Amino acid sequence: MNSNTHPFHSPAKLVDWSTLTPDKIAADIEAALAEAQAEIDAICAVAPEEATFENTFLALESAGETLSRAWGRVDHLTSVKDSEALREAHRAMLPKVTEYSSRIPLNAALWSALKSFAEKPEAAQLTGIQKRYFDETLADFKQAGADLPQEKKTRLEALNQELAQKTKSFSDNVLDSTNAYELLIDDESRLAGLPDSAKAAARQSAKSKGHGTDEKPVWRFTLQAPSFFPVLKYADDAELRKTIHQEAAKIGFKDKWDNTELIREILKLRQEKAELLGKKNFADQVLQRRMAKSGDSALAFTDDLYRKCKEAFEAEFDELEAFVAEKTGQAKDHLEPWDVSYWSEKLRLEKYDFDDEALRPYFPIDGVLDGMFRIAERIFGLRIQNHEGPENSWHPDVKLYDLYDAGGELLGYFYADWHPREEKRGGAWMNYLDTGAPQADGSRSPHVGLITGNMTEPVDGKPALLLHNEVETVFHEFGHLLHHLLGQVDIKSLNGVNVAWDFVELPSQIMENWCWNRESLNQFARHYETGEPIPQDLFDKMVAARNFQSASFTMRQLSLGKMDLELHVNPENYYEGDLDAKIREAISGYLAKLKTTPKSMVRRFGHLFSSPVGYAAGYYSYKWAEVLDADAFTRFEKEGIFNEETGRAFRDCILSKGNSEDPAKLFKDFMGRDPDPQALLARCGLA
């Protein structure tokens, strides 16, 4: 199909994003759907005696490639360039795309064609990646309902449609309710305690909306994380902190954007889907082929870590309450939720004489990115450079890079989009736009991916100066990106991040370790004005404070994982009644005792409810993979964090392998043994 006529179909690795406009979506997706369906129909028409691996399984692998490319671009734009026209076009096509994808494993003729080959002697002779793809495809079809009777397949298709629509509505509500709020302050005294960087950003935000003048300045705060987090952490004005905290709690909860009923509906649909597929609950359905295997197993993992952290968690909060009592001269008591971050920062400052803001000047974003690239080059044998030529991205702030193997082979391209915009959803994420494949001449076509976030913006002519935890986020998403770009799997659907969800965070989380080492920090942590590295005394304070309230941080992650699992293991508990109270009861031991009970974050928890599956029943994966990453990094610590042989082993055993083998085997190939959970507890200072 002509790329000018159907720009979303363009096979170009680097598309001209200015041509991908909402008015082109309907025609492009309709055409791609017709092409994809014709490819599926061709497989269905294969006579049983003529069935081969090539005309069944491999034909299925390539079927719908145009649709996947086109819809992937549409989906990406909804995340970074939202508009009413784009929403309307997306909503119009979403049911059709969902119908196509959900019908594939429910297509009796297609399943019959696949089984025609599967029952032949040739199927038993498959080896290597072909054997893996064969096994995974059969498992995918069975897990998705291929063996169901027709009436159940029909209902399953309807469930998939409803889930796609309702989860998109959930995501839209979160974005819209986030953007609907602004707080304007014209009394600078109310901003006491805020770092200059936060005040400058708030002033710049106000100017961008036409608020205030040089003579009468105004400061604007929003519910974007870089705007409201500093208020909760630093603002001396308790009423200001309270206002921001309470407004953030209303994301996905206020006015027409209330997600409460959507959550109940999504839970009911997921439970019905699980039961249709013969599983007790959605967690068991989702986890059956992940490392955890079942909802009960994931809960047991979560509860085990909870027991190991509980005493330290309670001690940390007791220390914080005592500190507040000492500083205020009042009786020791529980804290208000909007006071926790503020007083925790005061306590950390007193214990370690360390303030995150002191590190900002050493983390200009361009320096962070350049240093991160040099570190990856050194460890993994790569070369990364700015893309030469037109970038044609979806926003002027987006940059494009080329990634080469050290030997000169082009491995892929990637976009980086780091700062918040109103048309861009919150958080940070990696995604892939194209997966390379072997070519007839023996070469491999390049992959294409992207990394994006909502980091601190440039202010007053200065570069964007990041907090250390933002630096960790950049490294984290880059780890996901490397997992995609370094993939060497010959079958696209098994490449890169298409792995068991509780394994996918290993490549991302392990990269964060290089943000804590003196030698690696010297590669990029340089003062934006003087070029000086982080002073040794400041580095020592940063490291000393690393595990400050680590049990509290761990418990927060565990509480979110526990909430997720409870919602999807026992969903019937949440169909009626006070959603917040029921969640609070389910995770009561995981929560600190506070004067005012805050609302649950469930209504803005996009990880769980902004897509049909996403991290639903899988949020525990962050901690599961953290066990893997803490343990795997011990090999780097032992052999050298810049040891090229160790880096090559990680690239060969993990990053290049995608889902070509069982993840437990891949980990064992790198470490020579099964994971040791003690490594994580030791790193957190809890063992």
- Active-site residues: which are they? 477
Instruction: Give the count of alpha carbons within 13 A of 18, CB side only.
Output: 4
User: How do 382-386 and 410-417 pair as beta strands?
Assistant: unpaired
Residue among 591, 513, 543, 546 at smallest CA distance from 684: 546
What letter represents residue 564's amino acid? D
Q: How far apart are CA 515 and CA 606, in angstroms?
A: 27
If you search the block for the tokens 């309450």, which residue do you land on? 321
**How is 364-380 classified by DSSP, letter by letter?**
BHHHHHHHHHHHHHHHH
Q: Are 436 and 414 in contact (CB under 8 A)?
A: no
Strand ranges for 87-228 from DSSP E:
183-185, 219-221
Q: How far apart are CA 643 and CA 645, in angstroms?
A: 6
Describe the strand order of the beta sheet including 410-417 as a list of residue ranges. Answer: 382-386, 399-405, 410-417, 447-452, 429-434
Residue among 4, 14, 22 at smallest CA distance from 81: 22
**How is 459-501 classified by DSSP, letter by letter?**
-TTSPPB--HHHHHHHHHHHHHHHHHHT---SSGGGSTT-S-T
Query: Helix, strand, or coil here: 674?
Result: coil
User: How do 447-452 and 410-417 pair as beta strands?
Assistant: parallel
Q: How far apart are CA 436 and CA 492, in angstroms?
A: 7
Q: How far apart are CA 650 and CA 639, in angstroms?
A: 12
* 553: its two tokens: 């941080």
In sequence order, the β-bridge partners of residue 335 are: 594
- 279 CB neighbour count, 10 Å cutoff: 19
In sequence order, the β-bridge partners of residue 341 are: none
Query: Helix, strand, or coil here: 585?
Result: helix
Strand ranges for 346-460 from DSSP E:
382-386, 399-405, 410-417, 429-434, 447-452
Q: How far apart are CA 489 and CA 128, in angstroms?
A: 11
Q: Are 608 and 265 in contact (CB under 8 A)?
A: no
* 378: its two tokens: 């050194």
Please name the residues in contact with 336: beta carbons below 8 A apart, sequence gap of 6 or more: 238, 242, 594, 595, 596
Contacts of residues 380-386 at CB distance under 8 Å and 24 or more positions apart, as own/partner, are 380/482, 380/486, 380/647, 380/648, 380/650, 380/651, 380/655, 381/405, 381/406, 381/644, 381/647, 381/648, 381/651, 382/406, 382/411, 383/408
CA R_g for the chain: 26
* 489: its two tokens: 């799997």
Residue among 525, 512, 516 at smallest CA distance from 479: 512
- Phi first, then psi, for residue 308 (nearest 5°) are -75, -20
- 377 CB neighbour count, 10 Å cutoff: 17
Q: Are 583 and 560 in contact (CB under 8 A)?
A: no
